[in-house]
Chains A and B, each alone.
Chain A
Amino acid sequence: MSQGQHNTDPHFPQFPALAPSAPPAGPPDGPETAIAPPGGPGQQLPDRQAWGGEPRQRLHPLSPALHGAKSLFVVIAGLSWSTLSRVGFGWFAAMVTVLALGATVLAVVSWYNTGYHVVGRELRVYEGLLWRRTRAIPLERLQAVEVVRPLLAQLTGLAELRLEVVGGGKTEAPLAYLGVAEAAALRQRLLALAGPGTAPGPQPATTATAGPGIGHAASPVPPGRALHDVANRDLLVSQLLTPQALLLPLGVAFVVAQFLSEDSWSFIAVASTLTAMAGVLLQPVRRVLDDWNFRLARDEGTLRIRNGLLETRAQTVPLNRVQTVGVTWPLLWRAKGWLRLRLEVAGYAAGEPDDRNRPDRLLPVGDAHTGERIVTEVLPGVRLSGLATSLPPTRARWLRPLGRRAVGAGLDERVFAARSGLVTRQLTVVPYARIQSVRVTQGPAQRRLRLATVHADTAGGAGAAALDRDLAEAWWLAAELTARAHAARHPG
């Protein structure tokens, strides 16, 4: 997993007296008592200090029921259509019930043994019955907080809190589930504790993304200022303008033709085919469901993203945690002049198996003007249309006969911008302050042509690459990126 975890908790069984049936504690009171100054006595006896200050809290008592209901879907999907046809409906229902009940019992046991509390600048999460685990999550490493509300949780008024921490292979500490008010309060508190990273915008810039002389630094930002709402109609149209949606009629025609010719309308065949079709359409449909009611707001130094129809997500990203911003112009959207914006945060590791759990959308669909406005908001002082990129030298056409004019790179005042993609045009914007390392690579063909590629690596995402630059320019670019990254990190 990650750093900051340890398995030493001999006192674990002494769960503080908190009746299991007690309602979830509201906004935790008196955090000051728990926040021991670093190096103070609290450091030596963190547990006792914590117990004296703030009791360990349990998740919401309804969570096991929700987990059980969730496992019901998993069980049904796992048994699949073919099992249903083989064993008949009665047995199928019995199997599902047994498995789901078993899962619910396990969820109750795990709920009983799970607790969390805030100690100083750490969130501690305790879990496990046989293998006890205490995770101490240092809040200064907090990259983003997300409140996720799946459909069932919305019906029951619950929410899941997810924390993204640097170095975590996956989302750290999903606290599932908390009451909505409790989740919001805890999020607020964690972000406040996360330190200068989430300090109000007008504060002197701790990072170079917000250097001196920016308009925002001068004017205080009203809390929760709405930046942009995506119209659901645009979202629908944008997802209809995808290859999957456009090819759907062909697929339907094919299936219908096959059924007509073979004359076999069995339930299983229909169900399986529908499942397969749903699989193809999954991505656009998911995008519509996930990005429904997409609302972007800015609250002091953080970005608030809310989206989702069945499962609502409220994501909070401190602006200085944004590692890169990606702009995509899909081919089919060009007639509309639309683009999509992505942002990369360090916490969302590539190890996340489900792409959906990397909520990196900054703007699911929007026109050039909206895109420009949002980019300026996220990366102060950066104008999307003002990012000049230059083409690689003419001899690069031997490597990219068609795409030479689609790639490019440029150094802006605060950001490094790299363009790529002939069909789906992409632009990656990396603030100099976020560059982790610079690499120059040169393949055999590039060596013959005296070309080289310069990569700017970032903590989240793939970073940006200036493809096929002239060798001398590549060296200059590497030196310049290194120097500018250094200057951006050490202002003054």
Chain B
Amino acid sequence: MTGDPVGGPPPPGPPAVPPDPHPAPPAPAWSAAFPPGPLEPWPDTVRWQPVSGDLIWVELLRLAAVLGVLLLGLAVGWALSGHWLFGAALGAVVLAGAWRVVTIVRAVHAWGYAERENDLLVRHGLLVRRLSIVPYSRMQFVDVSAGPLERAFDVATVQLHTAAAASDARVPGLRPAEASRLRDRLTALGEDRAEGL
């Protein structure tokens, strides 16, 4: 065990990333509020695509459904028993819901994906931030799914599966046209570079 940086010469600095054919466009407006941080490595070579803002509504409606059931149950319990604990729980749920609304908006903005020459990058998460780098050649299959709520807002989810269970490359909130474009591109690239194991 040595204290040297991994693998010999100290690397920090511009990382070795295959050059992206597309030059980085001006950053999307929302990114001004989120300065390049832990979720945005290699700002020079990676062009992050945001997901659709309509995903916020999908997530909010999902939250509303859960909150509605919870609040109804608690309210009925409070009305029947009159115990103050139910009231306190009700207040706590309302507060948690309000906090969650804020985080949903921020979390949707934190989702992003980027197509590079050889791999797909997906980042997400606010509390625990995650970035996945999945080579196209490792792709086993692609899922495109859209639940009723997602369909109502005209968005879909694309998920890339590899042979590793831990791989985590899901991109929600894509416009259907973009979702099918991504799916076709991924399958085409996957076939080109097919590799499996």
A: residues with CB less than 8 A from B are: 141, 143, 166-167, 321, 323, 346, 350, 388-391, 405, 408-412, 419, 434, 436-444, 447, 452, 455, 457-459, 462-463, 466, 469, 471-473, 475-480, 482-483, 485-486, 489
Contact = CB atoms under 8 A, between A and B. Distances in A.
Rank and list the top 6 A-B pairs by shortest CB-CB distance, nearest first: A411-B7, A459-B163, A457-B164, A436-B164, A479-B15, A437-B167
A486 B3 contact: no
Given A444-B127, A482-B119, 14 more contacts: A390-B4, A436-B167, A437-B167, A437-B168, A439-B133, A440-B41, A440-B133, A441-B129, A457-B167, A469-B6, A475-B41, A477-B6, A482-B133, A486-B118
Given A410-B7, A443-B128, A452 B164 contact: no
A391 B3 contact: yes
B138 A479 contact: no
B166 interface: yes
B50 to A, nearest CB: 19
Contacts of A443: 127-128
Nearest to B18: A483
B38 A452 contact: yes
A483 B117 CA distance: 11
B159 interface: no
Nearest to A480: B16
B187 to A, nearest CB: 16
Interface in B121-163: 125, 127-135, 137-138, 140, 162-163
B174 interface: no
Contacts of A405: 1
Interface residues of B, number: 42
A437 B169 contact: yes
Contact of B6 (A166, A346, A409, A447): A409
Interface of B: 1-7, 11-12, 15-18, 38, 41-42, 118-119, 125, 127-135, 137-138, 140, 162-169, 195-197
A411 B7 CA distance: 5
Contacts of B162: 436-437, 457, 459
A433 B181 CA distance: 29
Contacts, number: 139
A475 B6 contact: no
B138 A442 contact: no
25 contacts: A167-B140, A167-B163, A346-B197, A390-B1, A390-B2, A390-B4, A436-B138, A436-B162, A437-B133, A437-B169, A438-B133, A439-B132, A439-B133, A441-B129, A455-B166, A459-B197, A471-B38, A476-B15, A478-B41, A478-B131, A479-B42, A480-B7, A480-B16, A482-B118, A485-B135
A6 B51 CA distance: 38
Given A436-B167, A482-B119, A441 B2 contact: no
A440 B17 CA distance: 16
A437 B121 CA distance: 10
Nearest to B11: A476
B197 A321 contact: yes
Given A472-B12, A475-B41, A482-B119, A350 B165 contact: yes
A141 B196 CA distance: 9
A321 B137 CA distance: 17
Nearest to B132: A439
A388 B2 contact: yes
B38 A391 contact: no
B11 A480 contact: yes
A320 to B, nearest CB: 9
A440 B131 contact: yes
Given A167-B163, A390-B1, A476 B12 contact: yes
Given A321-B197, A459-B163, A437 B135 contact: yes
A346 B140 CA distance: 13
A381 to B, nearest CB: 15
Contacts of A473: 5-6, 11-12
Given A437-B164, A482-B135, A489 B195 contact: yes
